[in-house]
Chains A and B, each alone.
Chain A
Amino acid sequence: MPDNHEIADTSAVGALDAPLPRKTMSINMGPSHPASHGTVRFNIELDGENIVKLDPEIGFLHRGFEKSCENVTWQQCLPYTDRLNYVSALCNNFGFLTAIEKLAGIEIPERAKYIRTIGAEIHRLCDHLTCVGAMGMELGGFAPFLYAVEARELLWDRIAELTGARVTTSFGRIGGVERDLPEGWVQKVEDTLVKVEEFRHEIDELLTHNRIFIDRTRGTGVLSAEDAVDFGFTGPMLRASGVDYDVRKAHPYWVYDRVQFRVPLGTTGDNFDRYYMRMAEMEESISILRQCFAQMQPGPHIVDDWRFVLPPKPQVYSTIEGVIGHFKLIMEGVKIPKGECYSFTESPNGELGWYLVSDGSGRPYKVHCRAPGIQMVGALEHMVKGSLLPDLIPTFDAINMIGGEVEQ
């Protein structure tokens, strides 16, 4: 709890004035507050309505992700990664697997690359919809949230058809993806995208030209490009400040070098730009999805290498090699060569980095998840210091803090 300080009264004291001693006031906002999604406690010190000091206290959702991963096999870490950013689980799944594949030196099949891109882009749409919807809701407009959730639900239904689960997907495998696209799924997604575009347009109409929304977001939480880089921002938050860094463009992975898309850039680095980055990126994601569907060719969806991938079930049930391969992978885990690597992909909120250390056994020696949100929440005090207390809400919303990945 911060101490309260006396505030020196700077206004001139006239002969007839009776100046009152003023003190700052401490306020606890959260851990569970209706105007902030995510469980985080703010220790705020206020001078009147202006924020003097802000100390975000996180960790309410800490589940020991890294410790758990160090005690299970490489494949068993995968369900834990779903629970990092639970709005866009596939981005985490595939990012983690890409890191393992870099460490093990596996090249995945073309079709798996396309399926990964498709899954990650669908979940990018879901994440951005959640962010703009919740932002609108917490600034007083409930309707955009309903549109966003309805669109997200449609996309999650498609994800459920693909992976079997709406939220906790666990879909990827080391060396590819678990199964191929279902029959008729592509057409269904294309139809869904038309609906999502309509919902996106609806949210755009409701928020982008809304006077209240603009007043709350324009010019609040401003961060210059130099500061944004210095604080380690990535993703839409960094691009809103006008810094052109998108992992998909700078270091293309999967099939991002084969699809055409633009990276929207902001100019002022305020909350409105951060909101609009997401609206613009949704359009690009939809375009990427359509290009992927047009380019995809049939082929294997996982590598045929029994050192990393479970043998097909008919061979497990009928041949001794299959049984042994299956048994060793399940009981000992995938043997990843001894070494270390840093691998990174663009998750909806920024760069999702993995620093992995393997000691050559079936279990990770160290799994470090560089969640994009940590440094952004760490810079929250810098962004809102001196501004009004209500400016904290849109700034915190624009960060889109997901407790699962920030608190791991």
Chain B
Amino acid sequence: MSEFALQRVAERFPDAVVQGYAYRGDETLVIQREHLVEVARFCKDDPELDLKLPLSVTCVDFIDEKPRFELVYTLYSITKKHHLRLKVRVGEDDPTVPSTISVWRGMDWWERYCWDMYGIRFSDRGPMKRLWMYEEFEGHPLRKDFPLRGRQPLIPEADIQDIYRGPGPGPGSPPASRSNPPRPSQLPIVK
């Protein structure tokens, strides 16, 4: 990753950058949501940065913090051989982020992934479509408040008595019970 990339963006957009830091050699810039697209476009088009390869977009759910969600964009430059990580923080009440498809077309399915798994909405693009789950699915499975076994089968499943594995329940989680955890909502079961 590159210290240079961090400074260059911070100099160009002093208002947009909330925070910049490096950990384990990974340079990270936290930027404001409103400036995401212009910063992204600068990262791609600037010949010194040349971050043309969109590697991934993901989201982290810090459930106890405010703002709750943190979107993580990983970018790479093939010519300059450096990475840069952009972060945008959004709250639970308005989890909307401007879409970067107009900058990198490869971000399309990662944005669908963030919508499917975390319920992050992306503006300035077509209607959000789930990537992995089916359209009838309710809720966003990778949110920390979604139950581990929050299955919503479209056809009835055989009851499994004991599926709990691993060394007991995690720290801070409620005691494991042998009954199924409640679903986000009881779906009508298609016969």
B: which residues have CB within 8 A of A? 23-24, 26, 28, 52-56, 58, 60-61, 72, 74, 78, 81, 83, 85, 104-110, 113, 117, 130-134, 141-142, 146, 148, 165-167, 170-171
- Chain A residues within an 8 Å CB radius of B171: 361, 363
Inter-chain contacts of B133 with A (CB < 8 A): 59, 62
Which 4 A-B pairs give the minimum distances between C-beta atoms? Answer: A232-B106, A59-B132, A378-B109, A62-B132
Q: Which residue of B lies closest to A344 (CB)?
A: B55
A-B contacts, 23 of them at CB < 8 A, read A58-B132, A59-B131, A62-B133, A64-B141, A71-B166, A229-B53, A231-B106, A232-B107, A244-B78, A245-B78, A250-B81, A340-B23, A340-B28, A342-B26, A342-B74, A355-B72, A368-B58, A368-B72, A370-B74, A374-B113, A379-B106, A407-B132, A408-B132
Residues of chain A contacted by B53 (CB below 8 angstroms): 229, 232, 234, 245
- The residue of chain B having its C-beta at the shortest distance from the C-beta of A377 within the complex is B109
Instruction: List residues of chain A with CB within 8 A of the CB of B28.
Output: 340
A28 to chain B: closest CB distance in Å? 15
Residue among A229, A339, A377 having the largest count of chain B Cβ atoms under 10 Å: A229
Chain A's interface size range is 35 or more
Q: Which secondary structure dominates where chain A touches chain B?
A: mixed
Residues from chain A with Cβ under 8 Å of B142 in the complex = 66-67, 70
Are A251 and B81 interface neighbours, CB within 8 A? yes
Q: How many A-B residue pairs have CB under 8 A?
A: 113
Please tell me if the beta carbons of A355 and B56 are within 8 angstroms of each other in the complex. yes
Most chain A Cβ neighbours within 10 Å, of B104, B106, B166 = B106
- Collect the chain B residues with CB atoms within 8 Å of residue A370's CB: 55-56, 58, 74
Tell me if A179 counts as interface (CB < 8 A to partner B).
Answer: no
B38 to nearest A CB, angstroms?
18
B106 close to A378 (CB less than 8 A): yes
Closest partner residue, chain A, to B173 (CB atom): A71
A155 → B minimal CB distance (Å): 30
In angstroms, Cα B14 to Cα A356, docked, is 28
Cβ of A353 and Cβ of B55 under 8 Å apart? yes
List 8 extra interface pairs beyond A232-B107, A245-B78, A377-B109, CB under 8 A.
A66-B117, A232-B53, A232-B56, A342-B74, A368-B58, A370-B74, A374-B113, A379-B106
A282 to chain B, nearest CB (A): 24
Contact check, A375 vs B109: say whether CB atoms are below 8 A apart. Answer: yes
Q: Give the nearest-CB partner of A103 in chain B.
A: B24
**CB-contact partner of B60 in A64, A105, A361, A365, under 8 A:** A365
Min CB–CB distance A359 → chain B (angstroms): 9
Smallest CB separation, A180 vs chain B (Å): 28
B106 touches A353 (CB 8 A): no
- Evaluate contact between B54 and A232: CB separation under 8 angstroms: yes
Is B60 touching A363 in the complex (CB atoms < 8 A)? no
Distance (Å) between the CB of B169 and the closest chain A CB? 9
Q: Are the CB atoms of B56 and A230 closer together than 8 Å?
A: no
Q: In the complex the two chains form, is A105's CB within 8 Å of B24's CB?
A: yes
A39 within 8 A of B: no
Q: From the candidates B23, B104, B141, B148, name the one contacting A232 in the complex (CB within 8 A).
A: B104
- Please name all residues of chain B whose beta carbon is closer than 8 Å to the beta carbon of A244 when the two chains form the complex: 78
Inter-chain contacts of B105 with A (CB < 8 A): 227, 230-231, 379, 382
Cβ-defined partner of B141 (8 Å) among A67, A103, A339, A357:
A67
Q: A71 CB to closest chain B CB, in angstroms?
A: 5
- A161 smallest CB distance to B (angstroms): 28
Tell which of A59, A102, A339 has the most Cβ of chain B within 10 Å. Answer: A59
- The answer for the CA separation of A351 and B56 in the assembled complex, in Å, is 11
Task: For residue B33, give the distance in angstroms from its CB to the closest CB of chain A.
Answer: 20
A72 at the interface (CB under 8 A from B): yes
Q: Which residues of B contact A377 (CB under 8 A)?
A: 109
Say whether A366 faces chain B, with CB atoms less than 8 Å apart. yes
Q: Which residues of B contact A103 (CB under 8 A)?
A: 24
Residues of A within 8 A of B26 (CB): 340-342
- B110 touching A375 by the CB < 8 A rule? yes
Query: Which residue of A73, A339, A342, A379 contacts B166 across the interface (Cβ within 8 Å)?
Result: A73
With CB as the reference atom, state the residue of chain A lying closest to B52: A229
| Beta-carbon contact of A230 and B106 below 8 Å | yes
Give the residues in chain B near A73, CB-CB below 8 Å.
166-167
Q: Does A296 contact B (CB under 8 A)?
A: no
